[in-house]
Amino acid sequence: MSDSLQELTHALQQFAQERDWGQFHSPKNLASALVVEAGELLEHFQWLTEAQSRTLPAQSRDAVAAEAADVLLYLIQLCAALGIDPIAAAQDKMRVNGEKYPVERAKGTHKKYDQL
């Protein structure tokens, strides 16, 4: 993990420890909380057009930033609880996606890899 991600992970663990929240932070509960927060993030885009979603007013953008932070924080906690390095996992996934979606077949299309 990068230093900044390690520091954030440590700060999250300390934050939870000070409040005795570790007892609630099972992988199942963290995954559930992550999905709830992702839903709250999506709520800010409900009913917007594509163009509107790309040009959020400052107040909406700030609210989206807060929800994105919640998603990130729960994801980091989930990874920590399971001993997953999220940077390494993301790098592995990018490599796999590169194999599934070669540029010459995937460029400019939204088709899934098994339909290319």
Q: Which two tokens stand for residue 44?
A: 């800010």
Query: What's residue 3's pLDDT?
Result: 66
Is 76:6 a contact under the CB 8 Å cutoff?
no
Give every CB contact of residue 30 below 8 A, 6+ residues apart in sequence.
74, 77, 78, 81
- Does the CA dihedral 88-92-93-98 come out positive or negative? positive
Q: Which residues of the chain have pLDDT under 70?
A: 1-3
Q: Looking at the domain assignment, is residue 92 inside a domain?
A: yes
Output the domain CATH number for residue 103.
Answer: 1.10.287.1080
Total number of domains in the chain: 1
Length of the chain: 116
Query: What's residue 114's pLDDT?
Result: 92
Query: What's residue 1's pLDDT?
Result: 45
Residues of the domain holding 104: 3-108
What distance in Å separates the CA atoms of residue 25 and residue 36, rounded to the nearest whole number? Answer: 15
Is 71:86 a contact under the CB 8 Å cutoff?
no
Query: What's residue 108's pLDDT?
Result: 95
Q: Looking at the domain assignment, is residue 75 inside a domain?
A: yes
Q: Looking at the domain assignment, is residue 116 inside a domain?
A: no
Query: What's residue 9's pLDDT?
Result: 95
Measure CA 102 to chain center.
Answer: 24
Query: What's residue 74's pLDDT?
Result: 98
Task: Pick the closest to residue 5 from 98, 88, 113, 101 (CA basis).
Answer: 88
